[in-house]
Structure 1
Amino acid sequence: MRTQVAIVGAGPSGLLLGQLLHRAGIDNVIVERQGADYVLGRIRAGILEQVTVNLMDEAGVGARLHREGVVHHAIDLAFDGRRHPIDVHGLTGGKVVTAYGQTELTHDLMDARRDENLPTVYEAQDVAVSGFDGTRPQVQYRKDGQLHTIDCDFIAGCDGFHGVCRASVPRDAIREYEKVYPFGWLGLLADVPPVSPHAIVYANSERGFALCSMRSLVRSRYYVQVPLADKVEDWGDDRFWDELRRRIDPELAERVVTGPSIEKSIAPLRSFVAEPLRFGRLFLAGDAGHIVPPTGAKGLNLAASDVKYLSTALIEHYRERSDTGIDHYSDRALRRIWKAERFSWWLTSLLHRFPEQSVFDQRIQEAELDYVVHSRAASTALAENYVGLPL
C-alpha cells in the first residue's frame, strides 16, 4: 500500500489529523492496534479549549459538539468550606471552555472517516515503523495472519504513551523528562445531572482533592484524590459519594445527585515530555510525546494543538513545497506543551494534599489559594491558562 501520510494510532489526535489532511486533499491511512470498540470505550477527558472546538469545525465534524456540548463560563475553587468563582469568560475577553466527552469527540471523528470511506486498519498486530531517518519510511503490521507494508512520505506517531513510534526512536536521539505524583484520581462516571451545570468545581480539602465535572447535562464525572495503593474494588459507589460530599462545601454537597456508576477507575498522575517531537520523517503528537496530569484538562487539548501545528506543516509541504512548518514543528509544539505542563503542575500543587506536606507547606498552599481568588491579576493568569494559551 502507498500513501502520503501513515498515521499510527486511531485516538483523537490520529483521527483529527487524518480528517484535516483528507480535507486538504492529502492521502492518509490510519493503523490502530486495538479494535474500534476498545478505542471508543476509553473514558477520558471532556473539557475542550476553544482551539480544540475550532479544529473540530475545521475538520468538518463540529456540528454535534455545538449542539450537545455545554459551554462553561467559570470555574469554582473550593477551600476552607467555601467556593470562590473565577469568571473565566470575563477575565479572558469572552473565551470559554466546552464540556464534551472525549468518547463523543472520537465517535464524531470515526463516523466522518467511515462516511468518507477512508482507510483505517483496526486490530493491527506487530506494528512497526522504519526508514523514517531516510527518504522511504514504512509502517508494517500483521492482520489476519498476513504481513502488510505501507510505504509513505511521512509517519505521524499518534499512538500514545506506550506506542511503538517513540519506542522506535534511537535512545540517544531523544530526551525524556518525567515527574510522577504520589497519588491518583479515582473517577466515577454516572448518569446524573451535574452538581454545577455551568462551572467546574476544584476542591482543596483536609481530606484531599476533589473535582466536580460533567460530560453533559445528564452525565457527570467526579473525582477524588486517593493513595496509589488504593484499588477500585475498595471503593463502592456509596463510599465514593460519601467521600465526595466530605470534600466540598456543605451547600454544594446537599445538591449532589447520586446514582449507580457507569465506570470507575483510578488514574495515576504524571508529567512527561519527550524532546524533540520530530525524527526525520517521523513526528510524535499527543500522548506519544507528552503527558500532563488531568488537573486543568490539558491532555486532549494539547494533542489537538499538536495536530494543528502538524497538519498545517504537512499541508504547507504538499501545497507550497515548503518545509518551514515541518522544520519548526517540534519547537512550536514544545513551547506550548511546556507552558501547559507548568500550568498543570502548578494547579496540581495548589489543590492536592501531598504525603510529606508539612504545616508550613499547607499554610503556603492556603496563602496561594487566597491570593488567586482575591487578586484580579492572579485570577486572570489562571483563567488565561485554563481556556488555553494562543497558538
Structure 2
Amino acid sequence: MKSTVVFLLISLTFLSCSRGGARPDVEDRPVPVEVFLLNETTLPRTRSFSASTLPWEMVVLSFKTTGRLKEIHFDEGSRITRGQLLARLDPVDQYMARQVAREQLRSLTPDVARLEKLAGKGAVAEAEKERVLGYWDALATQLSQADIALGATQLYAPADGVIGRRMANPGEMMEPSRPLGVLLAMDPLKVQLAVGAGELAWFPPDRELRVLFTDRITTGRVHQVSTTADAVTRLFQVTLSVANPQDAASPLRAGQLARVEVDLPPLRGRFVPAEAIETGAGGMARLIGLVDGRLQVFQVRHHEKEGRWIRVTGDLPADLQVVLGGFALPARQPVTVKTTWTPETFPGRPED
C-alpha cells in the first residue's frame, strides 16, 4: 500500500513538470516603467529671492516750540493725509508773547513817525534816528517770531501715511527734542532683497519685477542698488518701489514677507529631470534609455541645471525614451512603457 502511494506522488510530480515547462528568469519578465521623451525644447527660467517690506520713509513728529499738549488727534495705526491737524499745544505762552510784541510795536509807532518828520527837517541827530529805527526793526522781528511760535503750537501732517507709534498724551509737556509720534510713509512701499555680485546685472534701474505676497501678486520697480556689499554676507541690497494705495481694501503693511521673481532668458536644448541622470566628474554623466524594449546606458555631458532640470548633450537618438528609475533595474532588462512624459506634461515642470 505504501509503495503504491509513493509511486502515485512521483507520477504526479513528473506530469506537472512536463506540462508547466521551465520557470522564466526574473530578468526576462518585462517590467512596467515610466519614460521621459527626450527632445529639444525651450525651458523658461526664473529666479526667486526672499524679500521684506519697509516704509518708504519714517518721519518723527515733534513740535517746533515748547508747551503743554492740549489735543492729539491720532493713535497707532491711524491713516493720515498730508496737511491733517495732528495735535495742538496750549498756546497761552505764545499768545501772550505775541501780544506783548504787538503792543510794544504799536506804542513805538507814533514815535517813529514823529522822528522821521523831525529827521526830514534836520532836527534829530542821525545816530538817534538809527537807534530808534533799529529798535523798531527788532520789535517787528520779535512780533514775527511770536507769530511763528504761535503757529507752531499746531502740528500738521507733513505727508500721507500711517502712524507707527504714538509717544505722548494730553497734559504732558512737549519740546522740540521730544517726539510726539512716528509717521510711516507707506505709498510707495519699499521691498528689499539681497543678491550676489553675479546677480546684479538682473536688477537695472526701473526694471519691473513680480512681487509675491501671501494674498496677492503685484509688481515693483528697481529703485536703488547698494554700491557696497554687506561686510558679513557679501551681498548687495536691492530696493524696489511697490505701489501701495492706502485707500485700498487691504493695503500692504511694513514687515510683511515677500518673494521677488526675476525672469531670465529661456534656455534651448534637451533637458532631463535630475532624478533620471547620474552625474560624474568632468561634466560627464549617464542616463538609461529604452532601445528595442530593453534598457541601454548612454554617456552624455551635463550642463546648466535649472530647478529639477539638467541640460544634456551627446550622441543620442532623436526622441530617445529616458527611463525614470532605470538605474535600479538590471542591465538589458526588458520593460514595457506604462507612462510617457514630455517636458510639457511632466509633473513639477517649471511653469507649474
Relative to the length of structure 2, the TM-score reads 0.18
Structure number with the higher helix fraction is 1
Relative to the length of structure 1, the TM-score reads 0.17
Higher RCO by CA contacts (8 Å cutoff, separation 6 or greater)? 2
**Higher Cα radius of gyration:** 2
